[in-house]
C-alpha cells in the first residue's frame, strides 16, 4: 500500500502554486470555500453592496491561501512537468 501524502494540497505539476486537494481535509476546505463564496454572493446581492462583496471575497480568498500555504506542499520552483 502506498503512503498517503502528509499535505492536503499538492504542488502543481506545471507552473507554480497548488492544484486540487489530495486528501479529504483539503476537499472539505475547498468545498467550504466554494459554499461560503456562494452564500456570500447571494447575501451581498445588489449594486449598493459591491464593496462588501469585494471585501468578503478578499477575506475568504486570503483565508484559503493561508490554509493552503500552511497545509500544502511547498512549491519551491516553477515546475515543467518532469518532477
**How many structural domains comprise the chain?**
1
In a domain, 1, yes or no: no
pLDDT tens digits, 12-31: 878 888 888 999 999 999 99
Instruction: Give me 52's grid cell.
Output: 462588501
pLDDT tens digits, 33-75: 999 999 988 877 767 788 888 899 999 999 999 999 999 888 7
In a domain, 43, yes or no: yes
In a domain, 24, yes or no: yes
In a domain, 73, yes or no: yes
d(CA 55, CA 4): 36
N residues, the chain: 83
In a domain, 60, yes or no: yes
How far CA 26 is from CA of 2, 58, 61, 80, in Å, comes to 19, 20, 15, 24
In a domain, 45, yes or no: yes
Q: What pTM, to 2 d.p., does this model score? A: 0.80
Which residues constitute the domain of residue 61? 9-80
In a domain, 3, yes or no: no
In a domain, 2, yes or no: no
Amino acid at each position: 500500500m502506498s503512503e498517503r501524502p502528509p499535505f492536503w494540497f499538492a504542488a502543481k505539476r506545471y507552473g507554480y502554486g497548488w492544484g486540487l486537494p489530495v486528501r479529504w481535509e483539503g476537499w472539505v476546505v475547498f468545498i467550504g470555500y466554494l459554499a461560503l463564496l456562494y452564500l456570500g454572493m447571494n447575501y451581498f446581492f445588489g449594486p449598493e453592496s459591491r464593496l462588501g462583496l469585494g471585501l468578503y471575497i478578499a477575506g475568504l480568498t486570503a483565508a484559503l491561501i493561508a490554509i493552503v500555504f500552511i497545509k500544502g506542499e511547498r512549491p519551491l520552483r516553477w515546475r515543467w512537468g518532469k518532477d
